[in-house]
Amino acid sequence: MTVLRRSAFVAALWLAAAPSAPADAQIPAAGAAIDAASQAILASPKVIKALEDIKADDDQAFAEQKRITEIPAPPYKEKQRAEYFLKRFLELGFKDASIDTEGNVIALRKGSGEGRPRLVVSAHLDTVFPEGTDVTVKEKDGVILAPGIGDDSRGLAALLSLIKSINSNALATVGDVMFVGTVGEEELGNLRGVKALFRDHADIDGFISIDGLGVTRIVNQGTGSHRYEMIFKGPGGHSFQEFGLPSAIHAMGRAIAKISDLQTPSDPKTTFTVGTVRGGTSVNAIAAEARMTVDMRSDSTEELLKLEARLLDLVKQAVAEENARWKSDKLALEIKLIGDRPAGIVAMDSPVVQATQRAVTALTRAPRVTFAGSSTDSNLAMSLGIPAVTIGGGGEGGNWHSRNEWYRSVDAYLGPQSALLTTLVLAGLDGVTKPALAIRQGK
């Protein structure tokens, strides 16, 4: 790219990134600092070259995405994909990259400072699909079809493309950047990967998860969830000869009816569902056992706990009513917590949110960036008070968590480009800017 073209490129990016405001408006000090850092980083010839390299790598990143998709990574069985991801880290120059005791793949790129601040940039290795699912990538009507092609194979491919651009252009950060492929993000994985990561690394100051598509949607709020398995146990018996005994299935039915009548607030959004049910042995038997799983979610920890208390009480009432109906005390209830994802939120004026917003706006010239709540690896960081966002890996897709999941590589390079700019602002570009990410006190 010629000098003239590069200057025009920088100017266009900066004008797009700069927030519009009345002439007499005052930009908050934190926002002004992010603006200054963004401007300096966008003017760096090395950064401009890195952004160009990411775009040039688009086809290779898409090919990587498809390769990753065809490596099975069912819940709790991510080892094969983790080993491939470790191999790619090693090939990219991380000689000390490793798989930790929980199964996360970790590579540390040290900065010019003294190890702080430390920023994590991650994507998750696991999928929701059970072992044996056909993960072959297919093409139909101009789109790619495969379970997990977007969630989160795209995030993993974007992470590798980001690393390639940083290394090939010798971009030195001030703070350390830890690149991680996490396990246990999906379903009953219960965020076990990031829980282990923050347990073992108390010096993490900021967290970015690449999970989702496109780039204009930024997750700065973690939707909390509690999941339970309820097991109803009774004596069981013949439907005719032992008629009059309490039924585990009838009790479960009472509980479901009560749960379905619950009222929850729309703001903060709070939801519930009975996800699965099973039980009984035959059509002519009083059920000795029945099981159901329940999912509760809320953007507010307080509302989640209120819902949980009401729901658990209703289930206990249902058991008591079934026993009372048959003048019995033989029906019992066992409640197991099988999922606990904490809620959290990062303020709009946080450097991690502002840096991400400016990166997206600079690259896309989008009139507005959407901020949303979701349940991702970032939940754990947010709940600990650590600045975190979840950003998209680029491209278009749909039918997530379905065997018909699809993906189209449209401007997919914007994902790793956004991650690059955000990372450099937060960790600081050596010789150009100081880190916008603060070092956590006492850590």
CATH number at residue 97: 3.40.630.10
Same domain, 75 and 219: yes
pLDDT value of position 79: 98
pLDDT value of position 30: 65
Same domain, 253 and 289: yes
CA distance 347 to 356: 13
Same domain, 164 and 247: no
Same domain, 148 and 66: yes
pLDDT value of position 368: 77
- List the pLDDT tens digit at each of the 443 positions of the chain: 543 344 444 445 544 444 443 333 334 556 789 999 999 999 999 999 999 999 999 999 999 999 999 999 999 999 999 999 999 999 999 999 999 999 999 999 999 988 899 999 999 999 999 999 999 999 998 899 999 999 999 999 999 999 999 999 999 999 999 999 999 999 889 999 999 999 999 999 999 999 999 999 999 999 999 999 999 999 999 999 999 999 999 999 999 999 999 999 999 999 999 999 999 999 999 999 999 999 999 999 999 999 999 999 999 999 999 999 999 999 999 999 999 999 999 999 999 999 999 999 999 986 678 999 999 999 999 999 999 999 999 999 999 999 999 999 999 999 999 999 999 999 999 999 999 999 998 76
The last residue of one of the domains, among 299, 322, 341, is 341
Which residues does residue 337 pair with via DSSP β-bridges, in sequence order?
Answer: 228
Is 435 a member of any domain?
A: no
pLDDT value of position 203: 95
The last residue of one of the domains, among 310, 341, 372, is 341
pLDDT value of position 443: 65
pLDDT value of position 441: 82
Same domain, 178 and 89: yes
The last residue of one of the domains, among 341, 361, 384, is 341
Is 218 a member of any domain?
A: yes
pLDDT value of position 317: 98
State the residue range of the domain holding 356: 3-18+27-223+344-427
Is 202 a member of any domain?
A: yes
- φ, ψ of residue 390 to 5 degrees: the values are -115, 130
Is 438 a member of any domain?
A: no
Token pair for residue 298?
């809320």
Is 437 a member of any domain?
A: no
Sheet with 270-279, edge to edge strand ranges? 270-279, 289-298, 224-233, 332-341
Token pair for residue 340?
């606990």
Residue 314's domain is classified under what CATH number? 3.30.70.360
pLDDT value of position 3: 37
Token pair for residue 90?
């090693």
Is 397 a member of any domain?
A: yes
Same domain, 34 and 119: yes
Is 320 a member of any domain?
A: yes
Same domain, 158 and 207: yes
Same domain, 405 and 395: yes
- The number of folded domains in the chain is 2
pLDDT value of position 373: 92
CA distance 155 to 139: 20
Is 442 a member of any domain?
A: no
Same domain, 336 and 369: no
Same domain, 369 and 319: no
Same domain, 336 and 285: yes
Same domain, 219 and 229: no
